[in-house]
Structure 1
Amino acid sequence: MNSLERNNSLDLVKWIALLSMIIDHAWYVIPSESQEPFRWMRTIGRLAFPLFCLAIAANVYRQPTGYTGGWKYLGGILLFALISQQPYSRFFEENYLNILFTLGLGLVITQAIHHRSPSLICAGIAALAIASAYRPILSFGLAGVLLPAALLTALHARELETKIVTWSLAALVAAVANAGANVLILGDLPPAAQAGISAAALAPLFGLFLMQAHIRTVTPVGVWMYPVYPIHLLLLSSLSIAWT
C-alpha cells in the first residue's frame, strides 16, 4: 500500500462498499408493509459509507510526495456528484446532498493532511468551512466529511497503542456519521438501530482486516464506479414507481 500499483485488497473493499450500498438502497423499493423482514438490508448498508471513506483514505495514503493526480480524482467525484443529485433527490425525496459531495470534501481534507502543501492546506481549510456551513444538508454530516481523514491517520499509525487509539477514533467517527448524537443513547435505541450503528462502527476494522489479507485475484474497480451511482438510483426509482 505504499505505491500507486493496483491493490487487490483495496478493490475488494470497494466491491463490498458498492454492493452493500446497492443492498441498502434496494430496501427502499420494497413496499412499506413488507419492509420489516428485510431490515437486515439496512444493517448491511451501514458498511458502505465507512468503506468508501476507507478506500479514499487508502488511495491518498498510497500517493507519493508531489503526486498531482488527486485533483483529477476529485474532479471525477464532483462531476458525478452533480450528475447524481437529481436522481438522488428523485429516489429519496429528501433535501440532502448526495454522498459524493461528502466524499469529495473529505478527499480534499484528507489530501491536505497527507501532503501538507500550501495549496492543499488552503483547499482543505476551504473544504472544512464548506462542510461546516452545509452540514445540515450533507449526507452523513460533518463527521462523514472528517471520516476519511480519521482513517488516514489510522493507516499512518505504527505503534500498537497508536493503532488502537486511531482505529477506535475512526470507529467512533463512523458511528457518529451514521447516527449523530444517537450514539450517546445507544442502549435505549431499538435493536435494529443498534445493529446499524454497530455495523457502521465495525466497518473500518472490517475494512482494515480485508486490506491486510493477501487477495490474489479481484476484478478491478475503475472509474466505471462513478456512473453506477446515478444509474442505480434511476433504476431503483423506476422500480419503486412501477411497484406503487
Structure 2
Amino acid sequence: MKNFERDNSIDLIKWIALITMIIDHFWYILTPELQEPFRWMRTIGRLAFPLFCLAIAANVYRQPIGYSGGLKYLGGILLFALISQQPYSRFFEGNYLNILFTLGLGFLIAQAVHQRTATLIAAGAVALAITVAYRPIVSYGLAGVLLPAALLAALQARVIETRIVTWSAAALLAVLANTGAGILLLPDLPAKALAGISVAALAPLLGLALLQARVRSIKPVGKWMYPIYPIHLLLLSSLSLAWL
C-alpha cells in the first residue's frame, strides 16, 4: 500500500461488503415466517458498512499528498446517492438518507484528515456540520460518518499502543453506527442481536487482516458498483411486490 497502483486486497474487501449488503437487504423481502429462521442474513449484513468504510479509508491512505482525484471520486458517490434516494426510500419506506450520503460525508472528513489542506479541512468541517444538523436522517448517524476517518487513523498508526487504541476506537464506532442509542440496552439484548453487534465490532479487524492478504487475482470492483446500489434496491422491491 505504498504506491497508488490498484490493490487487490481492497477489491476483495469491496466484494465482501457488496455481497453481505445484498444478503442483508434480501432479508427484508422474506415473508414474516421466514425472517426469523434467516436472521443470520442480518447478522452477516453487519459486515457491510464497516468494510465499505474501510475500503474508503484504505484508498485515502494510499493517496499521495496533494492528490487531486478525490473530487471526482466524491462526485461519483454523491451523484449516485441522489439517484439512489428514491429507490432507497421506496424499499425501506423511511425518511433516512441512503448509505452513499454517509459514505460521501465520511470520505470528505477522511480526506481532510489525510491531506490537511485548508480547503479540505474546511470541506471536512462542513461535512461534519451537515452530519450534526441532519443526524436524525443520516444512515448510521455521526458514528458512521466518522468511521472512515477513524479507520484511516488506525491504518496510519505506527506504534503498537496507538494501533490498539485506534482499531479499538474504530470497532466502537462500527458498533455505535449499527446500534446507536441501543447500545445502552446491551445487557438486555437477545443473543441474536448481540451476534450482530459482535460482527460489527470485529469487521474492522477482519478488514485489517484482509488488507494484509496477498490476493493475486480478483475481478476489480470499478465504477459499476455505483449503479449496482440503486439497481439492486429496485430489483428487490420488484421481487417483494411479486411475492405479495
Q: What TM-score, normalized to structure 1? A: 0.99
- 1:95 match: secondary structure: coil
CA distance in 1, matches of 2:157, 2:199: 23
**Residue-by-residue CA offset, 1:44-90 (whole Å, 9 max, x unaligned):** 00000000000000010000011000000000000000000000000
| Per-residue deviation, 1:185 | 2.9
CA distance in 1, matches of 2:21, 2:162: 31
| Per-residue deviation, 1:186 | 1.7
CA distance in 1, matches of 2:176, 2:190: 17
What RMSD in Å do the two structures reach over aligned CA positions? 0.7
- How many residues are matched? 244
Q: Please tell me the residue identity of whatever aligns with 2:10.
A: L
- 2:217 match: secondary structure: coil
| Per-residue deviation, 1:182 | 2.1
Mapping of residues 134-173 of structure 1, within 5 Å: 134-173=134-173
Q: Please tell me the residue identity of whatever aligns with 1:148.
A: P
Equivalent residue number for residue 218 of structure 1: 218
Equivalent residue number for residue 125 of structure 1: 125
- 2:134 match: secondary structure: helix
Q: Please tell me the residue identity of whatever aligns with 2:192.
A: A
5+ residue gaps, structure 1? none
| Per-residue deviation, 1:2 | 2.1
Q: Please tell me the residue identity of whatever aligns with 1:62.
A: R
CA distance in 2, matches of 1:49, 1:147: 10
- 1:5 match: secondary structure: coil
Equivalent residue number for residue 57 of structure 2: 57
| Per-residue deviation, 1:188 | 1.2
CA distance in 1, matches of 2:238, 2:32: 16
CA distance in 1, matches of 2:87, 2:202: 30
Percent identity, please: 74
| Per-residue deviation, 1:33 | 1.9
**Residue-by-residue CA offset, 1:171-205 (whole Å, 9 max, x unaligned):** 00000000012223322101111111111111000
Q: Is the 8 A contact 1:187 1:194 kept in 2?
A: no
CA distance in 1, matches of 2:8, 2:58: 12
CA distance in 2, matches of 1:4, 1:229: 26
Equivalent residue number for residue 208 of structure 1: 208
CA distance in 2, matches of 1:54, 1:81: 19
- 1:3 match: secondary structure: coil
CA distance in 1, matches of 2:4, 2:95: 37
| Per-residue deviation, 1:160 | 1.0
Q: Please tell me the residue identity of whatever aligns with 1:2.
A: K
Q: What TM-score, normalized to structure 2? A: 0.99
Mapping of residues 1-244 of structure 1, within 5 Å: 1-244=1-244
5+ residue gaps, structure 2? none
Q: Please tell me the residue identity of whatever aligns with 1:39.
A: R
